[in-house]
Amino acid sequence: MKLWRGGRVATLAGDAGWGLIDDGALLVDDHGLLRWVGPSAEAPPADEVVDLQGALVTPGLVDCHTHLVYGGNRANEFEQRLHGASYADIAKAGGGIKSTVAATRGASEADLLAGARTRARALMAEGVTTLEVKSGYGLDADTEARMLRVARQLGSLGLDVKTTYLAAHAMPPEFSDADTYVAAVCAWLPGLHAAGLVDAVDAFCEHIAFSPAQVSRVFDAARALGLPVKLHAEQLSDQGGAELAARYRALSCDHLEFLGPDGVRAMAQAGTVAVLLPGAFYALRETQLPPVTALREAGVPIAIATDHNPGSSPTLSPLLMLNMACVLFRLTPEEALRGLTVHGARALGLRDRGQLVPGQRADFCLWDGGHPRELAACFGHNPLKARVFKGRIQGGA
């Protein structure tokens, strides 16, 4: 048993509040689980004691929506958008996701891994201890598998990785009929699942991507294997994707700028998490805000993620997402931090992390700072001192 004592601990225990313990301590067992959390003065005895020297302690960050594995980059599209082209215009002209598909297909597994490792390390340097990575830039069986294998290998860096199959992301050039491609997407899934490469299944439900009817076929294939689903829903228009996803008890619906009242209700009833992605909202200069007040009033848990991808959200800063979630979406700093911890975990179906309470994994961050609201108030500054993953200190920035 190891005792970490003398920190300002934001436990995020319960459904609301920071759960602050001013001079707090955490007891971690040999399995990397929290055994006890409370005031240092009341701490039980331990074999080893670490002095936190007043550091601010929060749960480790959970980035529950990323497209971290890919080839190439799309800074050219940044310039095109500055000249007035929209994300949808660029996609229709064969750029966008399709250009990353070409670069990803042309990249070796080693190249993809090298790029993804660098990016994962950047996320870890800001406190990420659990990371979701999607496929969806292969759009053929081999490249989708390669992406998922690369994502799995990131786990050796010292963070927990969950993989999501997103072959229903865009139409590959070799298919002309979307229904035929969707049949292929469904046919590839059992093999990838049998290889242990898939934790969840996602799709892009949009006028430039797949219809609700096509998405439901992908979800049926997931359900047949007992895999949970999530959905890129109502990012550019209201397609009724959230209601569809809720019918499948989706773990999460993500983006949601165009989510309407029926979608909010359906998500609340299904217990589906709303994953808000301020990086994409910002980078695409969206003006339609996700319905935060309605989500809050309906009791839908709100998560925040980077949506890291080379096109619509090329950020590697979860801390910046905290700030943007508050400034752009009007979340409170506490809601934003819950969004990057306990609710992010829930968007991945994980109930064993995200709060610093006994029984949870000992994944936590040590920050330079006095109050957790500072993490959201600052931007362009990284106060991480160290990251503790499953009870082991991993160093920091």
Least distance to ligand DI6, CB of residue 318, Å: 16
Which amino acid does the sequence have at 145?
A: A
Q: Tell me which of Fe ion, ligand DI6, none is bound by residue 130, counting a contact when its beta carbon lies within the kind-specific cut-off of 5 to 8 angstroms.
A: none
The residue (of 215 and 384) whose beta carbon lies closer to ligand DI6 is 215
Least distance to Fe ion, CB of residue 57, Å: 30
Least distance to Fe ion, CB of residue 319, Å: 19
Q: Does 130 bind ligand DI6 (CB under 6 A)?
A: no
Closest CA to 170 of 225, 110, 105: 105
Q: Does 206 bind Fe ion (CB under 5 A)?
A: no
Q: How far apart are CA 62 and CA 331, in angstroms?
A: 17
Q: Does 307 bind ligand DI6 (CB under 6 A)?
A: yes
Q: Give the E-state strand segments of 215-320 in sequence order.
A: 230-233, 252-255, 273-276, 302-304
Q: Tell me which of Fe ion, ligand DI6, none is bound by residue 6, counting a contact when its beta carbon lies within the kind-specific cut-off of 5 to 8 angstroms.
A: none
CB atoms within 10 A of CB 394: 15
For residue 51, the Cα-to-chain-centroid distance in whole angstroms is 31
Helices (H), 328-369: 333-339, 342-347
Least distance to Fe ion, CB of residue 198, Å: 17
DSSP sequence for 272-302:
-EEEE-HHHHHHTT--SPP-HHHHHHHT--E
Of the listed pieces 94-102, 122-130, 346-354, 369-377, which binds ligand DI6 according to CB under 6 A?
94-102
Of the listed pieces 21-29, 122-130, 310-318, 355-363, which binds ligand DI6 according to CB under 6 A?
310-318
User: Are 302 and 292 a contacting pair, CB within 8 Å?
Assistant: yes
Closest CA to 373 of 317, 328, 330, 322: 322
Q: Does 59 bind ligand DI6 (CB under 6 A)?
A: no
Q: Does 232 bind ligand DI6 (CB under 6 A)?
A: yes
Q: Does 307 bind Fe ion (CB under 5 A)?
A: yes
Applying CB under 6 A, which residues contact ligand DI6? 67, 96-97, 100, 169, 204, 232, 235, 280, 307, 309-313
